Structure 1
Amino acid sequence: MAVKKLIHVAVAVIVRGGRILIARRPEHVHQGGLLEFPGGKVESGETVQQALVREIAEETGLRVPAETLEPVIGIRHDYGDKQVFLDVWQTAAAEGEAEGREGQPVFWLTPEELRDEDFPAANRPIIRALRLPRTLHITGSLAGPGEGECRLDQALQRVTDGLVVLRAPGLVPEQYRRLVSMALARCSGSSVGVMLHGGPALLSEFTEADGLHLPWREAERLSGRPVAGNVRLGVSCHSAEQLRQAERLGADYAVLGPVLPTASHPGEPTLGWEAFEQLVAAARLPVYALGGMQPGHIAKARALGGQGIAGIGFWW
């Protein structure tokens, strides 16, 4: 069997005023009429940054300082006749006014206005990554009523935006429900979203929650996405096969670890950064590094292809 050629494609996420530059593909080309991010093939001898600077200038007339480009996500996609690696980088420092220099319409959209059905399938993980924060806050040990609610309220006061995974495996269902109600009330009207932790039935009780985070014991027994597409779905993973299952479930993100040793699980085997990078490189969804994470690790995780960090100790 012939080995399919892997085409390296540089993709640019150009941000200005909270909006992202989007173009529409010409009708006569492959997947014509769909929307796309600017970019193109990395030529022989080019770095991905050099390719992006060139492609952005050719397609839109914008000037991008190469040093302002930051990694977002890398996606491998099989089109049947060819395989592509979408190497996605972001900048907020593009200079000039954007125009479609190849005759393509260009316009600016917010991340919330990016719809899966308007883009090629390979672009959809990019949309997920752009809508997700760089840190995923997971709650630590919670006692019963009263003390647990007080502890959670104090912790939530330190979070100004992003997502909080309300994990409390030691509580009975009724205690957990009370904590969920308190957290949702506390975060209402703020930029903080609450992710429930457990089985899909939870979302039917708390429809105002941002989404559901599946522990592996729940994820492994499912055969398809258990929640609607308008709520977020996360999965806890520890291996390549578990990441594949998260992809099969249509998860919006996965957490992967433990990457580094943690105080809560002393002596437990860890992946290390090298294995994290290898596993993320093969994943087709945003992946957070979990285990021993601190805010200073965000840049490291992103440089290795991750979405950012997830954990307890850095905020709880």
Structure 2
Amino acid sequence: MAAAETSVREIHVAVAVIIRDGRVLIARRPDHVHQGGLLEFPGGKVEPGETVQAALVREIAEETGLSVPEASLEPVIGIRHDYGDKRVFLDVWETRAATGEPEGLEGQPVEWLSADHLRDEEFPAANRPIIRALRLPGQLAITGAATNVDEAITRLQAGLQTARPPLVVLRATELSGPAYLALAARAMPVCDSAGTALLVHGGTDVFNGTPGARGLHLPWREAARLSGRPVPADAWLGVSCHDAEELRHAAAIGADYATLGPVLPTASHPGAPALGWHAFARLVAGATLPVFALGGLSREDLVEARLQGAQGIAGISFWWPRG
């Protein structure tokens, strides 16, 4: 029995995302170790009685010679992964305050790379969600209600001018299929000129019918029908989720992120039960992809969302102009 328990014991690994001048510090694993030859983020096992922050300060100093103030560390994502021969919990934290010049003190090459140059196949499998988390913003903007295409475009232009969100999900459930495609076609150049990536909302037919779309956000009813990733690897894929099973399915079909909620009561769905932060944090802790908190949130909730394990917040009210 003891041997069986040991074989499935989870290893707590502290992972550091060290950012400087918009680039991330990356090392290459020695050939003789587990997953040898692949790229990795600095870090290592959390020792008994050690906090994850203390482990990161220690590991960063031992591996790279950099000094990191413990207070500068902020949570990014937590990932549980089963490699078959070992199970790990990657506890990922970010700092932008490392001082010194990095060296591979354990004989490993180190280099600074932009997040856009991090490739899934060059990292251990468990690192894919970390790469997604680094590329995704902290706020996912979702368009609000509009009675027609012209009104939606007018509000979109106003929202983009004031908020400048990096990603926008074009949600317009009140429009018919043809009207939505017409809206998406008009919204594309508007978003492009603002430097915003447009994600369409609906099924794969909507994505295929919108040339130039930067991604697809699936309502749960659409995601539930799928058994694999329906868009190319260079397009964003998101899923609207409400519980642990839906989060697992989103990860299984290769989603890059999920939204989860409602976290707090919302005006759009009065009386609908809200998760609350405690339940939200518990669900996110078991997820294997970045998760945006959704429902009843404002920009002021971003810090709390991050503390509870979220990628950030998603929603309408924090950016969409009122009618």
> In 1, distance between residues paired with 2:204 and 2:98?
42
Per-residue CA distance 1:178-208 (angstroms, 9 max, x = gap): 2212221112144311110001122223232
User: Which runs of 5 or more structure 2 residues have no equivalent in the other structure?
Assistant: none
Q: Letter of the aligned partner of 1:10 in structure 2?
A: A
Deviation of 1:315 after TM superposition, in Å, equals 1.3
Q: Match of 1:61, as an amino acid?
A: G
Map 1:29-178; keep pairs closer than 5 Å. Answer: 29-178=33-182
Shift, 1:80, TM fit = 1.9
1:304 is aligned to 308
- 2:255 matches 1:251: yes
Q: What residue is the counterpart of 1:18 in the other structure?
A: 22
Q: 1:189 to 1:149 in 2, by over 3 A?
A: closer
Query: Amino acid of the residue matched to residue 258 of structure 1?
Result: P
Q: How many angstroms apart in 2 are the aligned matches of 1:227 and 1:127?
A: 18
> What is the deviation of 1:121?
0.2
Following the alignment from structure 1 to structure 2, what is the Cα–Cα distance between the partners of residues 181 and 156?
Answer: 16
Return 226-235 or 205-214, whichever deviates more. 205-214
Distance 1:73 1:235, change over 3 A: same
Residues 248-293 of structure 1: CA deviation (Å, up to 9, x unaligned): 1100000000010001111001111000000000000000000001
Is 2:290 the partner of 1:274? no
Question: Could you tell me which amino acid in structure 2 is paired with residue 234 of structure 1?
Answer: G
Aligned-pair Cα RMSD in Å? 1.1
Matched, 1:28 2:51: no
Query: Does the 8 Å CA contact 2:160/2:194 hold for their aligned counterparts?
Result: no
Cα distance in 1 for partners of 2:248, 2:235 equals: 20
Alignment of 1:220 with 2:224, yes or no, is yes
Cross-structure match for 1:239:
243
For 1:41 and 1:51, the matched residues in 2 are separated by: 7
Counterpart of 1:299 in structure 2: which amino acid? V
One-letter amino acid of the counterpart of residue 38, structure 1: P
1:104-162 residue CA offsets vs partner (Å, 9 max, x unmatched): 00001000000000000011100000000000111111111322322222222223232
- Percentage of identical aligned residues: 65
TM-score scaled by length of structure 2: 0.95
Greater displacement, 149-158 / 194-203: 149-158
Question: What SS does the aligned partner of 1:73 have?
Answer: strand
Q: Separation in 1 of the partners of 2:296 and 2:22? A: 31
1:261–1:291 contact (8 Å) kept in structure 2: yes
Q: 2:290 aligns with which of 271, 281, 286?
A: 286
DSSP 3-state at the match of 2:166: strand
Name stretches of at least 5 consecutive residues in structure 1 with no aligned partner: none
The answer (yes or no) to whether the contact 1:159–1:192 under 8 Å persists in 2 is no
SS state of the match for residue 23, structure 1?
A: strand
Counting matched residue pairs gives 316
Q: How far, CA to CA, are the matches of 2:211 and 2:32 in structure 1?
A: 43
Query: In 1, Cα distance between the equivalents of 2:70 and 2:211?
Result: 43
User: What residue identity is the alignment partner of 1:158?
Assistant: T
Q: 2:195 corresponds to which residue?
A: 191
| Residues 77 and 122, structure 1, Cα contact 8 Å, conserved in 2 | yes
Q: Partner amino acid for 1:111?
A: A
Task: Single out whichever of 204-213 and 266-275 deviates more from structure 2.
Answer: 204-213
> Contact 2:17 / 2:25 at 8 angstroms: preserved in 1?
yes
1:68-96 CA distances to partner (integer Å, 9 max, x unpaired)?
Answer: 00000000011223211100000010000
Q: Which amino acid aligns with 2:230?
A: P
Find 2:11's aligned residue among 4, 7, 25: 7
Contact 2:60 2:67 in 1 (8 A): yes
Judge which range, 56-65 or 203-212, deviates more: 203-212
Q: How far apart, in 2, do the equivalents of 1:29 and 1:152 lie? A: 51
